[in-house]
A and B are shown apart, each in its own frame.
Chain A
Amino acid sequence: MTDVRAATGWTTSDSELERVREEDERLARERTKIARDGPGLKDAELAARLDRTWRRPPGIIGWLATVDHKEIGRRYIITALMFLALGGVLALIMRLQLAEPGNNLVGAQRYNELFTMHGSTMMFLFAVPVMEGVAVYIIPLMVGARSTTFPRLNAFSYYMYLFGGLMLWGAFVLNIAPDVGWFAYTPLSGPEFSPGKRSDVWAQMITFTEVSALAAAVVLVCTILKARAPGMTLARMPIFAWAMLVQAVMIIFAMPAIALASGMLISDRLVGTQFFNQYEHGDALLWQHLFWFFGHPEVYIIFLPATGFVSVITETFCRRPIFAHTIVVLALMSTGILAFGLWVHHMFATGLPRVGYSFYTAASMTVAIPTGLQIFCWLATMWEGRPRFEVPMLYVVGFIITFVIGGLSGVIIASVPLDLQVHDTFFIVAHFHYVLIGGAVFPLLGILTYWYPKITGRMMSDALGKIGFWMVFLGFQLAFFPMHFSGLLGMPRRVYTYPAGLGLELPNMLSTIGAFVVAAAVGIFVVNGVVSLYRGRLAPANPWGAPSLEWATPSPPPAYNFPHVPVVESRTPLWDTGPEMPVLTGLRVDEKEMLLTTVVAAVPDLREPIPEPSLWPFISSVAVGVFFISSIFSPWAVPFGAIPCTIALIAWFWPKEMKRTPEPVIS
């Protein structure tokens, strides 16, 4: 006792110190009574008790309140695929309209709505959310965690996304869909040239998806950096986790630019600010800078997760780790950084200074270097390995053949003199569909086939998968390769019709036929997904013989993901350890708890209590949604709409009484 006083300089009385010591001993006794996983509690009994702790409450309330990343991820994926289908139907209508010159299937106004809805849906409601949805589902499993960090924020992110999408499509049904293109250039989208509410709907849809994407990005960054299994140092982290880390950090840097831009557009339209009005000292081009500062990274926000998918599939089906892992990781990071220095290449025709253009030409070409290196590394992995051409691997081959065409046409349009001709023509339409469908949707279809057994517990049909792959691959080339020619033959983007006699008839007809082949293939994929849910072969824990941790737990995974926290000793843990994975025990089973580790070395750091399911994220997102939607109609929605938001957030974050037994950090 005197030692304690000497060490601390406190003037605590003997009796006081005695009381503290007794309290310590009491807590230590309490702790021994806490149920933990370990030698004393394992297998069936452990599973039953963990399930009781982690299972969400039943009923509709429990369904809305869930914070299970697997449920949220699944909803994200299904919702995004529905928006893909809706956006695809719009594309088919557009292709029918363009099938022949002077066609009159849909008029100018409707066509303008169609391509605006198609672009906005595909970019904001399908491509980004589906990547986040897959990551929200798989990342915690892949890094060996029981949950994402901030699970309630994760739920909030999904509901915001859903409401944003429903608003846009509700507006379409009510005939107030936006009609100014997915990048809504001012002054066309401003108050003078777009009266009515169409542009406001577009701008607020962007606001919804910004909030949602930022929330999901924060969840993913923290999960990847802090929730990795012990031993999974940064050097041993799977490439998909790296890709998602870079992507999420990019979202955090890119989204504020579009948040600013859409906010300025809304206030120009709603309260008469003049940010983009050149006659009141605003600037029409400011919009383009802000939009593309977000818009170009956006492409990589979609593409980088897809490269992660390619790495995952290539590794598993070539039966060896990715060749030059470090190079691939560095390529991801440098792509993420370079992506922020390219935006002006969307503005080569706006008459900015020539010297500035040269910089952006060079920067745009530079970004081809890391991508070229990644391609080499995948090919070298195939070369060194023994590739098995299951359906996911077929998609990787289709990806390389297709995406590289898009990448090289990207090099062509990085050159100012070439871009000035093909800019805003169907050549560009061909380019970005090669990059986004070839580069992102092909890997996505591959990875959905790959992770389907993990998510559902059943395998997808192989035969249907192969038919679907060949149809989507060939149909895609038929639909989009001719667009290079329609662009070079002088067909601008976003025209609802074109005159006969320019040589555009044949390429357009081929594109239309190809589009329907792709649609049929996507239909086959969906049928395969639905039928396999009931008829598919039951999947074991690791049907593909894959190396990463998500396959170390049953398919589908239990609510708590892993009975014991896995310990990682290499980059490919399931290939390098025997049948018995090393594990770390001692997490509580009577309350939801996860292990946090240090950022770089992944040494156990903290036990983190995981919040219980709660309705407040849902209620908050309803409040924010009402706020956003009503602010389309009146500026008073801002002060009054903020009140329910504030109340909901206060309730969400209301401090709970600490009932837990205090525990020291494990060492």
Chain B
Amino acid sequence: MSMGRRAPLVLLALGTGACSYQNYQSTFGNAAIEARQFNTLFVIFLVVCAVMYLAVVLFLFASILRRRRAGEANVVEDGRHHLSSPLMRSALIGWSAVVVVGLIGLAIASFFADRSMAKAASGQKLSITITANQWWWDVQYNSADVSKMVRTANELHLPVGVPVRIFLRSNDVIHSFWVPSLAGKQDLIPGRDNDITIVPSKVGIYRGQCAEFCGAQHAHMALVVNVDSFPDFIKWWQHQLQPAQAPTTPEAVAGYNYVTSRQCGACHSIAGTPASGTVGPDLTHLASRRSIAAGTLPMGQGNLYGWVADPQSLKPGVHMPTIGLEPAQLHAVVAYLETLK
């Protein structure tokens, strides 16, 4: 028995070690007010539950050890099996009282945390609409002034300390928006409007991932969230407002011509060019992002080559087809994509 108990304790130690491991994609990330509140409430629940668990296990071991003291038991061999001791009858009442009080306390703590999250999230400053697709995220920064609206994909930049309201929509099946270091999840359901408000509190880079099974490539539907200082955020926004720069090298020009005149532009859009498809991620500032294909691969020349050449083998089932580019075309397309900073 003692070994059975020790195993979880060892794991607990391992786990707490792992908690400080990374804040990249962890519910212990504490990078927003919502995540902090989760952690506080989680500790409260953990303590209460640990006390309850301890009570059960102590009672269990006391009962097991007690059997060695023969003679006092109310058992059939002694003809006393219909009896029960007054001690246990009052213990039953006490036990019920403790359970009920404990649960009421936890329920109240949970309600208060819920309410205070709602309060912290009021007074939004920034509004973003995220539309989920199989298997990528379409991100749009809303603004009353249309010329200030920014569209990007699979990447989010948030200013630290500013409440952000994110409207959540889906174009196909149900997905779930989850950046554990910042806040809990919220589903994106076709035909319904959901939203979540986050107040980021720590500058850094965090990873989020779809949390509702959404088909073949559910595992590869991630997004990168950059929590920036306010000036950095404004700088990023200004940069995103720029259309794509015209290519200069001959190879990039060839790539530009391919991308805007052949298949690519039917699905992808690049601001300032004829490519204006909407069923695939916006590529205007692709090369400035940290990953390719919704967190499938880190951004880099090699991965760009691999992805453009054969997306189906890197992310089987993805809606982007493998079109079989000639080597020269591939070099050109990648060269052009790399200019999309």
Write the residues of chain A forming the contact surface with B, with a CB cutoff of 8 angstroms: 107-109, 112, 179-181, 185, 187-188, 192-193, 278-279, 283-285, 318-321, 323-324, 327, 349-351, 354, 357-358, 361-362, 365-366, 368-369, 372-373, 375-377, 379-380, 382-387, 389, 397-398, 400-401, 404-405, 408-409, 411-412, 414-425, 473-474, 477-478, 481-482, 484-485, 488-490, 492-499, 501-503, 506-507, 510, 545, 547, 572, 575
Given contacts A193-B172, A369-B96, A383-B66, contact A417 B37 (CB under 8 A): yes
Inter-subunit contact A415/B110 (CB<8 Å):
yes
Inter-subunit contact A496/B11 (CB<8 Å):
no
**A489 CB contacts on chain B under 8 angstroms:** 18-19, 21-22, 25-28
Given contacts A361-B107, A488-B27, A489-B18, contact A185 B213 (CB under 8 A): yes
Digitize B26-61: 1 where CB-to-A-CB distance is under 8 Å, 0 elsewhere. Answer: 111000000101100110011001001100110110
Inter-subunit contact A420/B15 (CB<8 Å):
no
Inter-subunit contact B214/A188 (CB<8 Å):
yes
Inter-subunit contact B172/A477 (CB<8 Å):
no
Contact of A421 among B89, B180, B187, B210 (CB under 8 A): B180
Q: List 6 A-B contacts (CB under 8 A).
A: A108-B217, A188-B213, A193-B173, A324-B89, A401-B5, A510-B11
**Is B316 at the interface (CB under 8 A from chain A)?**
yes
The answer for the CA separation of A31 and B189 in the assembled complex, in Å, is: 71
Inter-subunit contact B25/A278 (CB<8 Å):
no
Inter-subunit contact B103/A420 (CB<8 Å):
no
**Is B144 at the interface (CB under 8 A from chain A)?**
no
Given contacts A379-B60, A384-B74, contact A362 B107 (CB under 8 A): yes
Number of interface residues of B (CB under 8 A): 100
Given contacts A319-B76, A503-B21, contact A376 B191 (CB under 8 A): no
The answer for the CA separation of A192 and B173 in the assembled complex, in Å, is: 10
**Is B232 at the interface (CB under 8 A from chain A)?**
no
Closest Cβ of chain B to A303, distance in Å, is 17
The answer for the CA separation of A129 and B173 in the assembled complex, in Å, is: 32
Inter-subunit contact A503/B212 (CB<8 Å):
no
Closest Cβ of chain B to A99, distance in Å, is 15
Inter-subunit contact B211/A108 (CB<8 Å):
no
Contact of B41 among A284, A386, A417, A425 (CB under 8 A): A417
Closest Cβ of chain A to B298, distance in Å, is 10
Given contacts A109-B316, A278-B192, A494-B213, contact A502 B26 (CB under 8 A): yes
A321, A412, A474 — most chain B CB neighbours (10 Å): A412
Which A residue sits closest to B77, measured CB to CB?
Answer: A319
The answer for the CA separation of A383 and B61 in the assembled complex, in Å, is: 10
**A278 CB contacts on chain B under 8 angstroms:** 190-192
Inter-subunit contact B317/A109 (CB<8 Å):
yes
**Is B328 at the interface (CB under 8 A from chain A)?**
no
The answer for the CA separation of A488 and B14 in the assembled complex, in Å, is: 13
**Is B146 at the interface (CB under 8 A from chain A)?**
no
Contact of A423 among B77, B83, B211 (CB under 8 A): B211
Which A residue sits closest to B222, measured CB to CB?
Answer: A499
Contact of A187 among B52, B99, B174, B207 (CB under 8 A): B174
**B103 CB contacts on chain A under 8 angstroms:** 365-366, 368-369, 411
Inter-subunit contact A108/B317 (CB<8 Å):
yes
**Chain-A contact segment, one of B112-120, B147-155, B299-307:** B112-120
**A324 CB contacts on chain B under 8 angstroms:** 84, 89, 92
**A473 CB contacts on chain B under 8 angstroms:** 4
The answer for the CA separation of A108 and B56 in the assembled complex, in Å, is: 42
A412, A420, A474, A502 — most chain B CB neighbours (10 Å): A420
Given contacts A185-B213, A187-B174, A368-B99, contact A411 B218 (CB under 8 A): no
Given contacts A187-B173, A473-B4, contact A415 B45 (CB under 8 A): yes
Closest Cβ of chain B to A111, distance in Å, is 8
The answer for the CA separation of A220 and B64 in the assembled complex, in Å, is: 35
Closest Cβ of chain B to A414, distance in Å, is 8
B18, B57, B217 — most chain A CB neighbours (10 Å): B18
Given contacts A188-B213, A417-B37, contact A488 B317 (CB under 8 A): no
Inter-subunit contact B64/A397 (CB<8 Å):
yes
Closest Cβ of chain A to B114, distance in Å, is 5
Contact of B4 among A181, A425, A474, A497 (CB under 8 A): A474
A349, A414, A495 — most chain B CB neighbours (10 Å): A349
Inter-subunit contact B41/A385 (CB<8 Å):
no
**A366 CB contacts on chain B under 8 angstroms:** 103
Query: Which residues of chain B in 155-201 are interfacial with respect to chain A, using CB atoms and an 8 Å cutoff?
Result: 168, 172-174, 176, 178, 180, 183-187, 189-192, 194-195
Sample of 4 further A-B pairs with CB below 8 A, known A112-B216, A401-B57, A497-B219: A350-B194, A365-B103, A488-B26, A492-B211
Inter-subunit contact B218/A495 (CB<8 Å):
yes
Which B residue sits closest to A368, measured CB to CB?
Answer: B103
Inter-subunit contact B316/A187 (CB<8 Å):
no
The answer for the CA separation of A386 and B75 in the assembled complex, in Å, is: 7
**A188 CB contacts on chain B under 8 angstroms:** 173-174, 213-215
Which B residue sits closest to A388, measured CB to CB?
Answer: B67
Given contacts A112-B216, A400-B56, contact A572 B211 (CB under 8 A): no
**B25 CB contacts on chain A under 8 angstroms:** 489-490, 502
The answer for the CA separation of A474 and B10 in the assembled complex, in Å, is: 13
Which B residue sits closest to A473, measured CB to CB?
Answer: B4
**B91 CB contacts on chain A under 8 angstroms:** 376, 380
**Is B8 at the interface (CB under 8 A from chain A)?**
yes
Contact of A185 among B38, B100, B178, B212 (CB under 8 A): B212
The answer for the CA separation of A366 and B103 in the assembled complex, in Å, is: 8
Given contacts A181-B213, A397-B60, A474-B7, contact A418 B45 (CB under 8 A): yes
Digitize B298-331: 1 where CB-to-A-CB distance is under 8 Å, 0 elsewhere. Answer: 0000000000000000001100000000000000
Closest Cβ of chain B to A429, distance in Å, is 12
**Is B244 at the interface (CB under 8 A from chain A)?**
no
Closest Cβ of chain B to A394, distance in Å, is 10
Given contacts A400-B56, A490-B209, contact A319 B18 (CB under 8 A): no
Closest Cβ of chain B to A212, distance in Å, is 27
**B111 CB contacts on chain A under 8 angstroms:** 358, 361
**B248 CB contacts on chain A under 8 angstroms:** none
The answer for the CA separation of A415 and B25 in the assembled complex, in Å, is: 22
The answer for the CA separation of A481 and B4 in the assembled complex, in Å, is: 12
Closest Cβ of chain B to A632, distance in Å, is 21
Given contacts A109-B316, A424-B211, contact A405 B110 (CB under 8 A): no
Given contacts A386-B75, A492-B178, contact A424 B185 (CB under 8 A): yes
A-B pairs, top 4 by smallest CB distance, nearest first, are: A420-B184, A278-B191, A490-B25, A503-B21
**Is B95 at the interface (CB under 8 A from chain A)?**
yes
**A108 CB contacts on chain B under 8 angstroms:** 216-217, 219, 316-317
Closest Cβ of chain A to B132, distance in Å, is 12
Closest Cβ of chain A to B2, distance in Å, is 11
Given contacts A108-B216, A417-B38, A575-B81, contact A349 B316 (CB under 8 A): no
Closest Cβ of chain A to B80, distance in Å, is 8
The answer for the CA separation of A485 and B46 in the assembled complex, in Å, is: 14
Contact of B63 among A320, A379, A474, A545 (CB under 8 A): A379
Given contacts A108-B316, A112-B216, contact A351 B173 (CB under 8 A): no
**Is B106 at the interface (CB under 8 A from chain A)?**
yes
**A375 CB contacts on chain B under 8 angstroms:** 56
The answer for the CA separation of A391 and B100 in the assembled complex, in Å, is: 34
The answer for the CA separation of A414 and B108 in the assembled complex, in Å, is: 12
**B262 CB contacts on chain A under 8 angstroms:** none
Inter-subunit contact B114/A349 (CB<8 Å):
no
